[in-house]
Amino acid sequence: MAKKILQGIPVSVGVAIGHAYILTRDHFCLAPIQNISEELVEQEIKRLEDAFELTISNLKELKAKIPEEQTEYSSIIDTQIMMLQDPKLKHAITKYIKDMKLNAEWAVEKGIGDIEKTFNGIEDEFFKTRISEFKLLSRKVIGNLIGAGEELKPIKSRVILVAHELTPADTVELDVSKIMAFVTAQGGKTSHVSIVARTLGIPAIVGIEDVENQILDDEFIIVDGFTGRILIEPEEEEIYEYTERQISFEQYKRELFQQSGLPGKTKDGFHVKVMANIELFEEVSSALDYAAEGIGLYRTEYSYLYRSRLPGEDELYEEYRDLVSIMSPKPVVIRTLDAGGDKIGKGFEKLEEANPAMGLRAIRFCLKFKKIFKTQLKAILRAAEAGNALLMFPMISGLEELRDAKRVLEEAKNELEKEGKSYKRDIPVGIMIELPSAVLVAEDLAKEVDFFSIGTNDLIQYSLGIDRTNKYVSHLFQPLHPAIIKSIKHTVDVAKRAGIYVSMCGEMAGDPFCIPLLIGMGVDILSTTPHSVPGVKRVIRMLSKKECEDLLNKILQNSSVKENNRIVKEKVFDKIPEELTFYTSFFDN
Ligand code: PEP
Ligand code: MG
């Protein structure tokens, strides 16, 4: 038996066997806070200057390792170097050493604190986003002052990343190609870490209390992304057993990959298009490799995160144009910026909202910061000429909000007109249905849009009142809750009556236990992580529309989520048993 076994929530399938890499960010608890004598002032300033120099050379080394095509990441580092070279920053810190006789570590915190206060007072988003960068740099400098080295120790060989939490900003700094699996204390099935793991096709487990202290750095572990088990210091027999499982999973994926060109058509001929959700432009290659029939959701917020400043219209235009033309004639649904909530993380944390998920997120954020919004809309409108692009607004709560967003879209068109830039005037416009209010007014909304895309990650969060990133309520994240099934069914029915198409791009679209019900409702498109596309198509091919409708009718008569889960499980186990060996589902919470 292994030395210890931990149980968490499996959120991405697969097995990883290897050494743990514990991601820790806080050197602050180690940083000494003390006063110094007058004679030590010069020495302390020299220590500070050395730490700045070392941080700059660490950044330069990091930059040298970045592949050429990742220009955005390189430019983040260039900006950080420039910030460190700015005499104003050094002056803001050294004055605390000279005047208040504080040691260098404390002076860094005080100096950065002053800058933060100044920036907080400026009513400009761009300046506010800089605060987090100063904080990040101060951690790096303090790390070097206390000799703890760089904030993140380099990942040398392939490792299993163990962290308390993994934010979108963390993934920017990490070399994900060296990560075999993720294990975190925080998170749920639809939080950032889970989506990233599924996109990368690596196993992940979340929700293990205090995991960063339960597993030692470099300890040998097995991550079982099917059951959520972590085996610490396993025995030889266990290593053998899991290696076998790993091999058979790889075989299964290869077989599936060979069939990825086959369509998602039921036995009785109902074609459900299967598309890919992507977060970054680079993922378009895996969408094509896995034969996605389009990009059903491009989460544009992630490419804002990669930049050290807000992107300009031309930059965004080039990115979207490339994506749209590579995929052409297949469709690409470009969702406008969904910043806030658990998205973007550091870049926007200065909003200091007590309840960010209910705060200034997505369309609300864009309607407040219209300049940012309009810049993006203009880029999308121009890029749409390169192929088959569709525009989608996130988190629409009702008609007025939709009309406000469309008004800004009109303004963007008018500006492009005046500037003499060519663009696609009649780009199809759709909305995410991810708020309960949108479900209830879907009839009104359907009259004014070209399509709906159901975002179950948020629809479940807001309907059932469950924070999608909170492990304590993760077991309550129930897609087959009668309220959720009714909400989805109502949305699909409304879309059908209105003659617009309806897709689903929430994680539920890739869950084999949910797919039969979605087919039964007649959803036109399922959009999921690129790696899941072939599997979803195969599940569809194993079913008939008729039997899915029968199953749906049974479920609609029930008022118990437990009963729904039982019925669906029985049916799915009966129809596609061989598929299930390699899936995790929302049922396994
Ligand atoms: C959703 O809410 O289901 C969705 C697809 O959007 P996101 O996960 O980006 O919030
Ligand atoms: Mg959403």
More confident residue, 540 or 143: 540
28: confidence class by pLDDT, cuts 50, 70, 90:
very low
Which residues, including other chains, have CB under 8 Å from residue 203's CB and lie 6 or more apart? 10, 12, 13, 14, 15, 16, 180, 181, 182, 197, 223, 224, 225
345: confidence class by pLDDT, cuts 50, 70, 90:
very low
Query: Are 4-25+154-255 and 27-145 the same fold in CATH?
Result: no
Q: What is the edge-to-edge ordering of all strands in the sheet holding 229-232? A: 4-7, 229-232, 220-224, 15-23, 159-163, 179-184, 204-206, 9-12
Burial class of residue 254 in the structure, from the number of CB atoms within 10 Å of its CB (0-12 exposed, 13-18 middle, 19+ buried): exposed
What residue segments make up the domains of the chain, in order of their start?
4-25+154-255, 27-145, 259-587
Pairing of strands 273-278, 295-299: parallel
Which pair of tokens denotes residue 158? Answer: 């392939």
Q: Is the pLDDT of residue 331 over 80?
A: yes
pLDDT tens, position by position, 424-435: 999 999 999 999
Whether this prediction's pTM lies above 0.95 is answered by: no
Tokens 């077991």 identify what position? 475
Distance, CA 461 to ligand 2 centroid (Å)? 9
62: confidence class by pLDDT, cuts 50, 70, 90:
confident
27 included as an active-site residue: no
The pLDDT > 90 percentage for the chain reads 53
Q: Which top CATH class is 27-145?
A: mainly alpha
Q: Is the pLDDT of residue 20 over 60?
A: yes
The CA-based angle 465-469-473, given to 5 degrees, is: 50
Look at the chain and count its residues: 589
Tokens 């604190």 identify what position? 113
Pocket test for ligand 1, best of 189, 190, 459, 461 (most atoms within 8 A of CB): 190
Q: Which top CATH class is 4-25+154-255?
A: alpha beta
Beta-carbon count within 10 A of 246 CB:
17
- Give the Cα separation of 452 and 23 in Å (integer): 39
Q: Is the pLDDT of residue 516 over 80?
A: yes
Which residues, including other chains, have CB under 8 Å from residue 458's CB and lie 6 or more apart? 395, 432, 434, 435, 468, 506
One of 27, 366, 481, 505 is an active-site residue; which one?
A: 505
Residue 482 confidence (pLDDT): 97
Residue 184 confidence (pLDDT): 93
Atom of ligand 1 nearest to the CA of 394: 6
DSSP helix/strand/coil, 86: coil
Ligand with the closest atom to the CA of 459: 1
The answer to which of 360-369, 394-403, 409-418, 480-489 has the lowest mean pLDDT is 360-369
Q: In whole angstroms, how far apart are CA 117 and each of 46, 361, 544?
A: 26, 24, 61
From first CA to last CA, the distance across the chain in angstroms is 24
Burial class of residue 209 in the structure, from the number of CB atoms within 10 Å of its CB (0-12 exposed, 13-18 middle, 19+ buried): exposed
More confident residue, 584 or 18: 18
Residue 193 confidence (pLDDT): 82
Using a 6 Å CB cutoff, which residues line ligand 1?
A: 190, 297, 299, 338, 434, 455-458, 505-506
Pocket test for ligand 1, best of 299, 302, 460 (most atoms within 8 A of CB): 299
192 included as an active-site residue: yes
Q: Which top CATH class is 259-587?
A: alpha beta
Phi, psi of 161 (to 5 degrees): -85, 125
Tokens 């972590």 identify what position? 230
